Amino acid sequence: LKGNPTVVSTWDAGLAANKAAWEILGKGGRALDAVEKGVMHTESTQSCCVGLGANPDRDGFVTLDACIMDESFNCGSVAFLERIKHPISVARRVMEKTPHVMLVGSGAQQFAIAEGFPLEEQKLSDDAQKAYTEWLKKSEYKPVINIENAGHGPFAPSQFENGEWNHDTIGMVAMDTNGNLSGSCTTSGMGFKMRGRLGDSPIIGSGLFVDNEVGACTATGQGEDVIRIAGSHTVVELMRQGLSPDAACKAAINRIVRIKGKAAKEIQVAFLAINKKGQAGAYSIQKGFNYAIRTNAGEKLIAAKSHFS
Ligand code: SD4
């Protein structure tokens, strides 16, 4: 055995996702299978920000983004996908069954149906319907400050700290017993976003990047600001230069903070990475980001360090 199997994923919902991933990793299975299975759990169960139970766009439709990447630079992605329960699995099919990397919108849905994925009913979950009805009262569109805040106005620092907003995108990266790395990322994006808006999560190099020689990284938070610096790719390249996962995530966050200037106070971005030694690390702009890790030694939820404390 070359590697100690390790899986990390974003937020506390990552604990349950890691457990699903561990059913594969713990038995010596492939990291790619583990990262798909792991986040499928979140797609089925989470409300708010992942899967069909999530908050809709401002026109009232749930649109989903996901991507997956294996140890050999194979990658697949779907974006702006509607009425399909497991976008991560469609992303994997794009990777394995088409000559392409990304499919979007109705084309992605058409491909999913052709692959046998059921077309689900167009219906908001009870929680999402409630949140949307509430949002419609003002219909305020302030994407910068509303991100991850369910449209309820600017962040107060206490919201970052007490985790009111921390049900979120799930990004997962893992190493298997062969020492191979893979990653997955799935989300409904920003609640009450403009119709057609994509974040970083389905974009290889932004929401997720895997380089089996070096390490893997995933991102959560305000996608626009992750895309701006090709975030996950940046973190992996920093690890290539010798930085630890913690230090690489911190350097990438510092870059965003520098670019954003004063506006950095109003956004959250977090990176989560592992390297080939199976070491994990993370860093975020705001306090409150945590990640779940599972190894042979057990499971843990770790609070990441942040730029603002
Ligand atoms: C996006 N990064 O669509 C995703 C959303 C997210 O925490 O991670 N929110 O921008």
pLDDT of residue 191: 86
292 forms bridges with which residues in the sheet?
9, 301
Cβ burial 54-73 (10 Å sphere, 16+ → b, else e):
bbbbbebebbbbbbbbbbee
- Whats the size of the chain, residue-wise? 309
Nearest Cα to Cα of residue 172 among 141, 208, 128: 208
**Does 51 sit in the ligand 1 pocket, CB within 6 Å?**
no
Q: So what's the ipTM on this one?
A: 0.97
Distance from residue 190's CA to the centre of ligand 1 (Å): 6
**Does 199 sit in the ligand 1 pocket, CB within 6 Å?**
yes
pLDDT of residue 2: 65
Spatial separation of the C-alpha atoms in residues 280 and 74, rounded to whole Å: 22
Spatial separation of the C-alpha atoms in residues 248 and 112, rounded to whole Å: 36
177 is catalytic: no
The region, left, alpha or beta by phi > 0 then psi within -120 to 50, assigned to residue 33 is: alpha
pLDDT of residue 145: 35
DSSP annotation string for 59-96: TS---EEEEEE-TTS-EEEEEEE-S-S-HHHHHHHHHH
**Does 169 sit in the ligand 1 pocket, CB within 6 Å?**
yes
By alpha-carbon position, which residue is closest to atom 7 of ligand 1? 221
**Does 189 sit in the ligand 1 pocket, CB within 6 Å?**
yes
Task: Please identify, by atom number, the ligand 1 atom nearest to the C-alpha of residue 220.
Answer: 8
**Does 9 sit in the ligand 1 pocket, CB within 6 Å?**
no
Q: Which residue has the tokens 């360090």?
A: 305
Q: Best substitution site from 166, 168, 208 to test ligand 1's pocket, by max atoms within 8 Å of Cβ?
A: 168
Positive or negative torsion for Cα 216, 220, 223, 226: negative
Spatial separation of the C-alpha atoms in residues 165 and 143, rounded to whole Å: 15
What averages of pLDDT result for each successive group of 10 residues across the chain (309 residues)? 86 93 97 97 86 92 97 98 98 98 98 98 92 88 46 41 56 97 95 93 98 98 96 98 98 98 93 97 94 96 95
159 Cβ contact list (under 8 Å, min separation 6): 149, 165
**Could you say which of 169, 186, 220, 295 is catalytic?**
169
Q: Best substitution site from 12, 49, 229, 269 to test ligand 1's pocket, by max atoms within 8 Å of Cβ?
A: 49
**Does 288 sit in the ligand 1 pocket, CB within 6 Å?**
no
Distance from residue 230's CA to the centre of ligand 1 (Å): 14
Contact at 8 Å (CB) between 262 and 237?
no
Distance from residue 85's CA to the centre of ligand 1 (Å): 18
278 Cβ contact list (under 8 Å, min separation 6): 3, 4, 5, 6, 175, 295
Q: Best substitution site from 194, 201, 256, 290 to test ligand 1's pocket, by max atoms within 8 Å of Cβ?
A: 201
By alpha-carbon position, which residue is closest to atom 6 of ligand 1? 221
**Does 290 sit in the ligand 1 pocket, CB within 6 Å?**
no
**Does 187 sit in the ligand 1 pocket, CB within 6 Å?**
yes
At residue 72, φ and ψ (nearest 5 deg) are -120, 30
303 forms bridges with which residues in the sheet?
290
pLDDT of residue 190: 86
Nearest Cα to Cα of residue 175 among 41, 66, 277: 277
**Does 149 sit in the ligand 1 pocket, CB within 6 Å?**
no
